[in-house]
Amino acid sequence: MTPLQAWYKTATPEQKRLLAEHAGTTPGTLRQIVGAWRTGGIPRTTPEMAIAIERAATELCIIPYEGRIRREDLCAACNGCDYAADAQANQKRRKSR
């Protein structure tokens, strides 16, 4: 289960609507991404939507117990991207300071 899926299970309808709105999508589309019915339980979306969801979650301070909502968990292309890997490494360095 990804952090987005964990958050979604406990979020109120208003919280889901706010995340969708900030990400530039609809609550229904967000539900489809989270549900991952067509992708074997693993959320998959476009890089653009994955980035939008990650940024919206950050803006709204949504940090589930399971960890930060990350684009790499939502999009296979983002998961293999050098930029995303560099961002992860930089974040780990900042935490270790």
Amino acid 81: pLDDT? 81
**Helix (H), strand (E), coil (C) string for 20-72:** HHHHCCCHHHHHHHHHCHHHCCCCCCCHHHHHHHHHHHHHCCCCCCCCCCCHH
Tell if the pTM clears 0.85, that is, is over it: no
Q: Are 43 and 74 in contact (CB under 8 A)?
A: yes
Residues 43-66 pLDDT 10s: 788 999 999 999 999 999 888 777
Report the distance separating Cα 90 and Cα 60, nearest Å: 22
Q: Which of 39, 56, 40 is nearest to 4 (CA)?
A: 56
**Band of pLDDT at residue 20, cut at 50, 70 and 90:** very high
- Residue extents of the structural domains in the chain: 3-96
**Band of pLDDT at residue 30, cut at 50, 70 and 90:** very high
